[in-house]
A and B are shown apart, each in its own frame.
Chain A
Amino acid sequence: MSAKTLTQADLASLVGDLVAAGTRVVAPSRTGVGPLQHLDYREIKKADEMTLDAGLPKRSIKELFFPPTEVLFRWKQKKNDFELQEVETKFQKTVVIGARPCDAAAPEIVDRLMNWDYKDELWNGRREATTIVALACDGQDKSCFCTAVGLGPDSTKGADVLLVPVKGGYHAEILTAKGEALVKDFGKRFGEAKSADEAGKFRETARAKVEGNLKVDPKPIRTWLDGHFEDKYWGEIALRCHGCGACASVCPTCHCFDIVDEPEGIYEGARRRNWDTCQTGKFTLHGSGHNPRGTQNMRFRQRVTHKFAIYPRKFEEILCTGCGRCARACPGGMDLLEILSDIGQMAGGAA
């Protein structure tokens, strides 16, 4: 690991260099008009489209690796037979600039699932083509809880380069081979590191700010979840839930999908995989009509246990980066922080 300095002007030039080199650059950017205006990660062509100081974008970078809908193969009727067409698994080189640490960590967590048995080519193809330049966060708001799940506003997990804001620019930590390659290719934009102390202070302040939001220990929570599947706590958990799936769609780690055949004309079509959510009843409905997860309470229990007990058991990672988007996006006001702190108390962990 090495460190460099990147000034504001150099960062702007870097964006220009990358675009000129034919690389897709994705960064937080303002989009929409009037009351619909918000911050989102999207492809930019010029540095001034990028907004790095306006907090957490509304959606995560999940969709860069796992699009809301993608074609698995196409089929076409041919005389009395059908023909299958494979899809391209080579992807455009991409650099994400300014991904918040909670977003940068997520793909690395989901990597485990995508490679535990069958290796998902589409996911891996996009992962390999993408370099993530993360940006240390100063703690967005009261819904942030990255420190409670073992990450932090300055976490380097999943990032190839971490930028920490300092006066006049950024202190850049080069973390992986992909990060080194970026520095090598655009060496003239990176200067000698000189503000490590200032960066350290920024990181400490941000950490303290987020730590105040939620103080729980994920270990006793996992133990509690393992032993309290039938606890009365789950009985009324989802009273406020509409089953709309907002939480899953903004979650950087939610990865459930549905596979459907969609016609493209009468005699041809595509099989697609689309984002899905375990919060709808149809998710587990059997062909026979039986539904093992018949009520919203059971579905919400699945969501919480999957993130904090099931996934850790199988893949040794918590399926949550503490970005707090689910709490912000829920129309019913379901708050994962509240739930975790409840469970933390019941588990007898740090409250």
Chain B
Amino acid sequence: MKYLRLEPKRPRIGVFDFTSCEGCELQLANHEETLVPFLKAIEVVNFREVSSYKGEDYDIALIEGCISRDDEVGRIEKIRAQAKVLVAIGSCACFGGVNRLKNAYNLDEANKEVYGDKPKSTAKVRAIKEVVKVDLEIPGCPINKLEVERIVQCLAFEVPFNFPVYPVCVECKQRFTTCMMEKGQLCLGSIAQAGCNAPCPAGGLGCWGCRGPAPDHNFEEFMTLAKQRGFSEKEISERLGFFGGFEGRR
């Protein structure tokens, strides 16, 4: 920002993946219309999906995925030691994500079910913050590129970034999307954190709460409402548990 007599520091960024689908990383390389200025604003030091160059002197580490094997623990600890700022991106890194469903089963049984008679090393799924200190969490499955751009802009100028505190409902109203509950679908919009711009309800799918709970939410009323509308405890509990963001509230 030249008019403020400021030159942005190009933050040196490393992107790393753990147990995940790598969709969030792909999302970082998406949104072509701003991709060039975005890549200009940062310096990619280590990002498998974008560049074959592998540097080790990154300042900001973006972590995708959860910790589900013991060998991943050593790797994340090494990254933590190098990075000045460690950012967990995506629901897997923030809450454990879909992978967390594994925790509901016996590990050996799960291993056998998936890998048959060639078992792999496996452990209980943990979010990144359960293993090392996390400085910032950007939830979402996948993350919202526009939001990430804004956050990176803030990081580059060292100014704070504030996530919305209101639920997804507010964003549906802003887009004039008809309420999914009205249409007979279960929707976590009233308790899930906004910031995604509510694409799922706009596309006809109730919210699955991939961004975790909103700071301002009315959980009791959500439960009453969902039950009133004929959704079973099991159904609601499964929906709440899907991305792991509502752990402890099921």
A and B touch in the complex (CB under 8 A): yes
Residues of A within 8 A of B224 (CB): 240
Q: Does B1 contact A (CB under 8 A)?
A: yes
Query: A241 and B37: CB pair below 8 A?
Result: no
A-B contact pairs, 15 of them (CB 8 A): A242-B190, A242-B218, A242-B221, A243-B166, A243-B217, A245-B169, A245-B170, A246-B173, A266-B41, A274-B174, A275-B174, A280-B165, A280-B166, A280-B170, A331-B190
Query: B216 and A281: CB pair below 8 A?
Result: yes
Residues of B within 8 A of A263 (CB): 150, 153
Among residues of B, the one whose C-beta sits closest to the C-beta of A63 is: B176
Query: A244 and B41: CB pair below 8 A?
Result: no
Taken together as a complex, chains A and B put the C-alpha atoms of A280 and B215 apart, in Å, by: 11
Taken together as a complex, chains A and B put the C-alpha atoms of A330 and B95 apart, in Å, by: 31
Residues of A within 8 A of B148 (CB): none
Chain B interface: which of A74-82, A130-138, A163-171? A74-82
Chain A, 228-284, CB within 8 A of any chain B CB: 239-246, 248-249, 263, 265-266, 274-275, 277, 280-282
Using CB atoms and an 8 Å cutoff, list the residues of chain A in contact with chain B: 35-36, 38, 59, 68, 77-82, 239-246, 248-249, 263, 265-266, 274-275, 277, 280-282, 296, 329, 331-333
Would you give the shortest CB distance from A33 to chain B, in whole angstroms? 11
Given contacts A242-B169, A275-B174, A331-B179, contact A77 B1 (CB under 8 A): yes
Residues of A within 8 A of B41 (CB): 266
Among residues of A, the one whose C-beta sits closest to the C-beta of B204 is: A36
Residues of A within 8 A of B165 (CB): 280-282
Taken together as a complex, chains A and B put the C-alpha atoms of A142 and B164 apart, in Å, by: 36
Would you give the shortest CB distance from B6 to chain A, in whole angstroms? 11
Among residues of A, the one whose C-beta sits closest to the C-beta of B184 is: A35
Query: A82 and B3: CB pair below 8 A?
Result: yes
Q: Does B181 contact A (CB under 8 A)?
A: yes
Among residues of A, the one whose C-beta sits closest to the C-beta of B40 is: A266
Using CB atoms and an 8 Å cutoff, list the residues of chain B in contact with chain A: 1-3, 5, 34, 37, 41, 150, 153, 164-167, 169-170, 172-174, 176, 178-179, 181-183, 189-191, 215-218, 220-222, 224-225
Residues of B within 8 A of A265 (CB): 34, 37
Query: B216 and A332: CB pair below 8 A?
Result: no
Query: B3 and A244: CB pair below 8 A?
Result: no
Query: A80 and B3: CB pair below 8 A?
Result: yes
Taken together as a complex, chains A and B put the C-alpha atoms of A263 and B149 apart, in Å, by: 11
Taken together as a complex, chains A and B put the C-alpha atoms of A243 and B189 apart, in Å, by: 11
Would you give the shortest CB distance from A109 to chain B, in whole angstroms? 22
Taken together as a complex, chains A and B put the C-alpha atoms of A200 and B79 apart, in Å, by: 79
Query: B37 and A244: CB pair below 8 A?
Result: no
Question: Out of A249, A277, A282, A296, which one reaches B218, CB within 8 Å?
Answer: A296
Query: B221 and A280: CB pair below 8 A?
Result: no
Query: A35 and B183: CB pair below 8 A?
Result: yes
Among residues of B, the one whose C-beta sits closest to the C-beta of A68 is: B174
Most-contacted residue by chain B among A78, A242, A246, A296 (CB, 10 A): A242
Taken together as a complex, chains A and B put the C-alpha atoms of A296 and B174 apart, in Å, by: 20
Most-contacted residue by chain A among B164, B166, B167, B224 (CB, 10 A): B166
The 4 closest A-B pairs by CB, nearest first: A244-B169, A242-B190, A249-B173, A280-B166
Among residues of B, the one whose C-beta sits closest to the C-beta of A282 is: B165
Taken together as a complex, chains A and B put the C-alpha atoms of A249 and B169 apart, in Å, by: 12
Among residues of B, the one whose C-beta sits closest to the C-beta of A38 is: B178
Query: B166 and A281: CB pair below 8 A?
Result: yes
Query: A332 and B3: CB pair below 8 A?
Result: no
Taken together as a complex, chains A and B put the C-alpha atoms of A38 and B249 apart, in Å, by: 36
Most-contacted residue by chain B among A38, A80, A274 (CB, 10 A): A80
Query: A277 and B37: CB pair below 8 A?
Result: no
Query: A80 and B2: CB pair below 8 A?
Result: yes
Would you give the shortest CB distance from A271 to chain B, in whole angstroms? 15
Residues of B within 8 A of A241 (CB): 218, 221
Taken together as a complex, chains A and B put the C-alpha atoms of A280 and B176 apart, in Å, by: 17
Question: Out of B37, B176, B182, which one reaches A59, CB within 8 Å?
Answer: B176
Taken together as a complex, chains A and B put the C-alpha atoms of A249 and B175 apart, in Å, by: 10
Taken together as a complex, chains A and B put the C-alpha atoms of A38 and B179 apart, in Å, by: 13
Taken together as a complex, chains A and B put the C-alpha atoms of A265 and B146 apart, in Å, by: 11
Would you give the shortest CB distance from B64 to chain A, in whole angstroms? 25
Query: A244 and B178: CB pair below 8 A?
Result: no
Taken together as a complex, chains A and B put the C-alpha atoms of A132 and B179 apart, in Å, by: 30
Among residues of A, the one whose C-beta sits closest to the C-beta of B149 is: A263
Would you give the shortest CB distance from B136 to chain A, in whole angstroms? 19
Residues of A within 8 A of B215 (CB): 281
Taken together as a complex, chains A and B put the C-alpha atoms of A99 and B216 apart, in Å, by: 36
Taken together as a complex, chains A and B put the C-alpha atoms of A38 and B177 apart, in Å, by: 12
Would you give the shortest CB distance from B40 to chain A, in whole angstroms? 8
Residues of A within 8 A of B34 (CB): 265
Would you give the shortest CB distance from A209 to chain B, in whole angstroms? 25
Most-contacted residue by chain B among A240, A244, A266, A333 (CB, 10 A): A244
Among residues of B, the one whose C-beta sits closest to the C-beta of A40 is: B176
Residues of A within 8 A of B216 (CB): 243, 280-281, 296
Residues of B within 8 A of A35 (CB): 183
Residues of A within 8 A of B176 (CB): 59, 68, 249
Would you give the shortest CB distance from A232 to chain B, in whole angstroms? 20
Taken together as a complex, chains A and B put the C-alpha atoms of A59 and B150 apart, in Å, by: 32
Would you give the shortest CB distance from A328 to chain B, in whole angstroms? 10
Residues of A within 8 A of B191 (CB): 242
Taken together as a complex, chains A and B put the C-alpha atoms of A257 and B139 apart, in Å, by: 27
Taken together as a complex, chains A and B put the C-alpha atoms of A246 and B190 apart, in Å, by: 11
Would you give the shortest CB distance from A68 to chain B, in whole angstroms? 7
Would you give the shortest CB distance from B53 to chain A, in whole angstroms? 24
